[in-house]
Chains A and B, each alone.
Chain A
Amino acid sequence: MITKRIIPCLDVRNGRVVKGTNFQNLNDVSSPVELGEFYSSCGADELVFYDITASAEGRQLFTDILKEVASKIFIPLTVGGGINTVEDFDRVLKCGADKVSVNSGSIKNPDLISQAARLYGNQCVVISCDIKRVDGVFHVFAKGGREDTGMEAISWIKRCVDMGAGEVVVNSIDTDGVKKGFDIDMLKAVCEAVNVPVIASGGAGSAEDFITLFKEIPDIDAGLAASIFHFGEVQISDLKKLLKENNINVRL
């Protein structure tokens, strides 16, 4: 059977990997190519690259880095950040990306999902959703978590999947960067609503948080994290051994 995936996420700005707390106070970490190679060699099942640069120069630099990563790392690559058109899909797919993650771009133009799914297949289109509770209701946030769209998150995700999104990344703003565990309630709600792979993001602080995630939500497909991997607090190879010992099916 298919294994549960462990996915390190690399936020790239101006050619460097960065990680902040609650999406602010970004810190410079390392070279994306070096980190990618390191993760690939220690058992990461997939890599996610988010381009958080705003400038055109930054975007070109990101594209060059992506090509370099894709020529050296032979595991699936997902790319997100600044994806607003099918031309953006084309640009990153040509650099070796396997899947493209859309967030704000699909909120501005939901047709982007169906257009991209028709051109590249559902398996290529990942909807990434930043979600925060507002008065007890899950709201979709846009622009890197800065803007409340007012949309209810579960119905939005269902709509995206109906339009052709083949995978969902759920990033809880409430737990992101806090390192006290994944947002189990939010993730359960998404898993119950859709029948495509769901990736948990936001809140991992220890290896135990991943055990809790996969035990509490057997339907969840993958756990994604950044800082705990980048700063070496959790080694992916150790994490996967621990998951295996806990009878969670992983690739060693």
Chain B
Amino acid sequence: MIAIIDYGVGNLFSLVSSFKAIGADAVITSDKNTIRKADKIILPGVGAFEDAAKKLRESGLDKTVLEEAAKGKPLMGICLGMQLLFAHSFEYGCHEGLGLIDADILPFEGRLGKELKIPHIGWNALKINQKDCPLFKYINDGDHVYFVHSYFAEKDIAECAASAEYGIDFTACVWKDNIYACQFHPEKSGTVGLNILRGFCEIGEN
């Protein structure tokens, strides 16, 4: 069973539907025992970093996620859920994340040419640099996925499994041991997105 963590941020309808579409058993939950019992964890999120980090801490679910991740349980952050795995975000100030990835989240603002619109919204191509990452089992280099974000992680971090380019190169997918993440929305990225989720679901299965 896959636990999609509900900490009051964002709409989880499409995410649950995506797992249903690939035949995976996924539940939306804020119950610590359910998360402990789950085989895998999804940390979703949209909106502002500070607000989401605060809600995650206030719910106490940050500790549960960290404990389960420390046991080696596969954890996948999606969009803002990816950013929350990092050490800090510089979105309106400097805010602390879960620190599972020792790098920071930076604003596009001031780093892109004036002709590029912010947020970065739309379909963009993935450049896969860690081909053996389980997320990429069923997709190809150059496949397009759907992004909506104004903040990013730099490409030159050790955990960057795939990047994308929007004026600058940035991290699109993260992989470090049992920690996985996507800056884009796999649940809105058509067949490619479903195949990324399928790759995640199959981790540890024979």
Contacts and interface: CB of A to CB of B under 8 A. Distances in A.
Interface of A: 1-3, 5, 40, 45, 67, 70-72, 74-76, 93-96, 98, 121-123, 166-167, 195-197, 221, 251
Given A3-B123, A121-B46, A76 B117 contact: no
A45 B190 CA distance: 9
Nearest to A40: B190
Given A5-B122, A94-B11, A94-B13, A76 B21 contact: no
Residue from B14, B125, B144, B147 with most neighbouring chain A CB atoms (10 Å): B14
Residue from B17, B117, B120 with most neighbouring chain A CB atoms (10 Å): B117
A3 B144 contact: yes
Given A70-B14, A74-B191, A195-B117, 19 more contacts: A1-B165, A1-B166, A2-B120, A2-B121, A2-B124, A2-B166, A3-B122, A45-B122, A45-B123, A71-B17, A74-B188, A74-B193, A75-B189, A96-B17, A98-B14, A122-B119, A123-B119, A166-B119, A196-B117
Interface string B60-94: 00000000000000000000000000000000000
B190 A2 contact: no
Contacts of A196: 117
B177 to A, nearest CB: 28
Interface of B: 11, 13-14, 17-18, 20-21, 46-47, 117, 119-125, 144, 146-148, 165-166, 187-191, 193-194
A74 B18 contact: yes
A123 B148 contact: yes
B122 A71 contact: no
Contacts of A40: 190
Contact of B13 (A76, A96, A166, A167): A96
Contacts of A1: 124-125, 165-166
Nearest to A2: B122
22 contacts: A1-B166, A2-B147, A3-B122, A5-B122, A40-B190, A45-B122, A45-B123, A72-B17, A72-B21, A74-B14, A74-B18, A76-B146, A93-B11, A94-B13, A95-B13, A96-B14, A96-B17, A121-B46, A123-B119, A166-B119, A251-B123, A251-B144
A130 to B, nearest CB: 23
A251 B143 CA distance: 8
Nearest to B118: A195
A76 B124 contact: no
- For the residues of B in contact with A, the DSSP-based class is mixed
Nearest 7 pairs between A and B by C-beta? A251-B144, A2-B122, A71-B17, A96-B13, A251-B123, A3-B123, A76-B188
Nearest to A90: B11
A45 B14 CA distance: 16
A249 B191 CA distance: 19
Contacts of B147: 2
A40 B124 CA distance: 17
Contact of A71 (B11, B20, B188): B20
Nearest to A1: B165
B193 A197 contact: no
Contacts of A70: 13-14, 17
A93 B14 CA distance: 10
Contacts of B125: 1
Contacts of A93: 11
Contacts of B144: 3, 251
Contacts of B18: 74
A75 B190 contact: yes
A36 to B, nearest CB: 13
Contacts of B190: 40, 74-75
Nearest to B194: A74
Nearest to B145: A251
Contacts of A98: 14, 148, 188
Contacts of B194: 74
A89 to B, nearest CB: 11
Contacts of A195: 117
B124 A3 contact: yes
B117 A74 contact: no
Contacts of A197: 117, 121-122
Given A1-B165, A1-B166, A74 B13 contact: no
